[in-house]
Structure 1
Amino acid sequence: MSRVRIGAVGAGWWATSNHFPLLANREDVELVGVCGLGPGLGDVRDKFGFGLATESVDELLDSGLDAVVITTPHDLHFDVATRALERGLHVLCEKPMTLRADEAWSLAESVERAGTHFLVPYGWNYKPFTVEAKRILDAGLVGDIQFALCHMASPTRGLFGGDPTHMLERWDSDTKPELSTWADPKHGGGYAHGQVSHSSALFFWLTGMRAATVAGRVANAGSAVDLFDAAVIRFDNGALGSLSGAATLADGDKYQVDLRIFGTEGVLMIDVERERVSLSRYDGENINVDIPASEGEYECLVPPVRFVELITGASTQNNSTVDVAARSVELIEGLLRSSAADGAEVRVHD
């Protein structure tokens, strides 16, 4: 395959600020078409060199593609991804992959049937220091996991609270985030879907674990969607865990993602804010990973490139597969169900 023929469904803020510039600069990619709504779609087509601009998903998917990039509002991901997989296309689908667990696992089954690559672009899953943390865990240096903490906080109260303008300085984009995507509960807005999807998917990729039950609460603090999340989790292996999320860091503060994994052989700590990966074993061995300054800052440069490399065969390493994303989706759905049930413990899966 000399060039990967890629189409895009969704042409908003994140697609035009991150994915399209990366893909347009690759010689092994042909941008066949873009599907979206609004009078600016033609400008997007011309700016990034797409051959086609259309408001019809089917027209795009039937235009001779190898792969599709999906950056629609959250509640549309499942339908578009399913239609793409039915056509045998490779899929990059933004997070949260879906809003419901049954849809997430349906996509996993569709991927298996299609035999194609499916990647959800979680940026932290591709950082060199998290890859090293994964190596430590896979080597058994923590032992059997007995307890885990998974925390995330970010300067996004404007985004989820209704005013996203402060976010634009982080990205080179002429478009603004759609409030209906991030701050409207009907479309899957809120901190759990929008941000805890990152931290939980990083945790599930690193550990390979799966949540069995969750008891949690969310708080809106005057917003239409959740700004704060807290939960107690029981995992399939019997381990206990805690999860938390907060949208109200001050503008300009560094993102917090803090994972602490306690096992029978030692403790692994992963902290993106202070750029730390450290292992403290009960036999006295200690490992501290050397991490360059600012390496913990969030960016999503590797996942779109890795998607292309998976298709061409230049790489075989997918750190954010459909099943990793599905385990995140089912946990978040369980958290929101539990909160709606006054914090009662609910099963995450059968």
Structure 2
Amino acid sequence: KPFTIAPADAWDLVDTAERTGRHLVVAFGWNHRPMVVRFVEELRDHGGIGEIEHVSVHMASATRELLTNTGAYPDAAPEAVPDQSTWTDPRMSGGGYGQAQLSHALGLALHVTGLRGASVFALTSAPRDAPVELHDAAAIRFEGGAIGTLSGGSAFTGAGDNKHQLEVRAIGSEGQLVLDVERERAWLWRSDGFETDPVLEPEAGRYDCDGPPAVLADLALGKDVVNHSPGELAARTVEILDALYRSAASGQLESTADRARS
């Protein structure tokens, strides 16, 4: 991830995979974490929260030094640190924090809610003469009428043990939910009286990307496993990020419709 920069390229890959009978597994590690897998199963088993009306997604992570070319990403493997331009040359990366991190946040939020973006109004900020944006703020209208907010910020390396802040909140016609991987919370409430707010093990929400390659290997071996980060989901994240960057540049509300597969 990000899956691609342009929505048309993303949907072309999805179509190609479908046409050739192949699987696409995208590196959205949180979607494969047991905490998230159990929550999505619980949500499905109890009928969800009805028609989604409002969503808020917030993320912050230790990318301040990385995106200003003053340091490395703390989770990068020391023996395989990518060239700095991978992150901070917009011709290669497509952007800053949005592409680097909000791709993950959207991968989780759209996985949980099933939503697809319709239009985006966004602001971005690049303090410290950064070559790409460090911070993003966006208002989103989704297909079906739901509205939402998406925010992302480049935190300091060393703050909070470098643990990602990532929280998804949603309100629907039949209930609401909170999925917070920083505080290990997975709360679901329904208007029919059902509620679950389990005590999760410490570090249940800490990020790793072991799940996607393991699932890819199992699928290649013909095993019956669930792909929690398919290409179709990733293409929906690309649609929103593309509109986010276009909106930040134009100062206008930007539609996803004219650049995506119907």
Q: TM-score scaled by structure 1?
A: 0.69
CA RMSD of aligned residues (A): 1.5
Aligned partners of 2:206 and 2:76: how far apart in 1? Answer: 13
TM-fit CA distance, 1:234? 0.6
* Counterpart contact for 1:98–1:329, Cα < 8 Å: yes
Following superposition of structure 1 onto structure 2, how do residues 68-79 of structure 1 map, counting pairs within 5 Å? none
Q: Which amino acid in 2 is paired with 1:253?
A: N
Q: Percentage identity across aligned positions? A: 38
User: Aligned residue pairs: how many?
Assistant: 253
Residue 184 in 1 paired to residue 93 in 2? no
Aligned partners of 1:324 and 1:296: how far apart in 2? Answer: 21
**Counterpart of 2:215 in 1: which secondary structure?**
helix
**Counterpart of 2:109 in 1: which secondary structure?**
helix
Q: Deviations over 1:148-167 (max 9, x none)?
A: 01111101111111133362
Q: Which of 17, 24, 28 is the matching residue for 1:122?
A: 28
Structure 2 unpaired stretches of 5+: none
Residue 347 in 1 paired to residue 252 in 2? no
* Counterpart contact for 2:50–2:174, Cα < 8 Å: yes
TM-fit CA distance, 1:261? 0.9
Aligned partners of 1:241 and 1:283: how far apart in 2? Answer: 24
Task: Find the counterpart in structure 2 of residue 226 from structure 1.
Answer: 133
Residue 194 in 1 paired to residue 100 in 2? yes
Aligned partners of 2:250 and 2:172: how far apart in 1? Answer: 32
Aligned partners of 1:101 and 1:166: how far apart in 2? Answer: 27
* Counterpart contact for 2:65–2:157, Cα < 8 Å: no
Q: Deviations over 1:113-157 (max 9, x none)?
A: 111111101110001111122123323241211100111110111
* Counterpart contact for 2:43–2:188, Cα < 8 Å: no
Aligned partners of 1:165 and 1:235: how far apart in 2? Answer: 35
**Counterpart of 2:167 in 1: which secondary structure?**
strand
Q: Which of 210, 217, 235 is the matching residue for 1:308?
A: 217
Q: TM-score scaled by structure 2?
A: 0.92
* Counterpart contact for 2:62–2:73, Cα < 8 Å: no
Aligned partners of 1:330 and 1:141: how far apart in 2? Answer: 24
Following superposition of structure 1 onto structure 2, how do residues 1-350 of structure 1 map, counting pairs within 5 Å? 95-139=1-45, 140-165=47-72, 167=74, 170-188=75-93, 189-221=95-127, 222-251=129-158, 252-342=161-251, 344-350=252-258
Aligned partners of 1:213 and 1:171: how far apart in 2? Answer: 33
Give the stretch that moved more between structures: 100-109 or 250-259.
Answer: 250-259
Q: Deviations over 1:45-93 (max 9, x none)?
A: xxxxxxxxxxxxxxxxxxxxxxxxxxxxxxxxxxxxxxxxxxxxxxxxx
Query: Are the structure 2 counterparts of residues 115 and 341 from structure 1 closer, same or farther at C-alpha, using a change threshold of 3 Å?
Result: same
Rg larger in structure: 1
Q: Which amino acid in 2 is paired with 1:176?
A: V
Aligned partners of 1:311 and 1:266: how far apart in 2? Answer: 38
Aligned partners of 1:291 and 1:128: how far apart in 2? Answer: 10
Aligned partners of 1:136 and 1:176: how far apart in 2? Answer: 38
Where in structure 1 do 4 or more consecutive aligned residues deviate above 4 Å? none
Aligned partners of 1:172 and 1:216: how far apart in 2? Answer: 32
Q: Which amino acid in 1 is paired with 2:39?
A: A
Query: Are the structure 2 counterparts of residues 171 and 232 from structure 1 closer, same or farther at C-alpha, using a change threshold of 3 Å?
Result: closer
Q: Deviations over 1:311-335 (max 9, x none)?
A: 1122331011111010001100000
* Counterpart contact for 1:160–1:223, Cα < 8 Å: yes
Aligned partners of 1:183 and 1:107: how far apart in 2? Answer: 25
Give the stretch that moved more between structures: 256-265 or 128-137.
Answer: 128-137
Structure 1 unpaired stretches of 5+: 1-94
Q: Which amino acid in 2 is paired with 1:177?
A: P
* Counterpart contact for 2:179–2:185, Cα < 8 Å: yes
Query: Are the structure 2 counterparts of residues 171 and 185 from structure 1 closer, same or farther at C-alpha, using a change threshold of 3 Å?
Result: closer
Q: Which amino acid in 1 is paired with 2:68?
A: G
Q: Which amino acid in 1 is paired with 2:41?
A: R
Aligned partners of 1:206 and 1:301: how far apart in 2? Answer: 20
* Counterpart contact for 2:136–2:151, Cα < 8 Å: yes
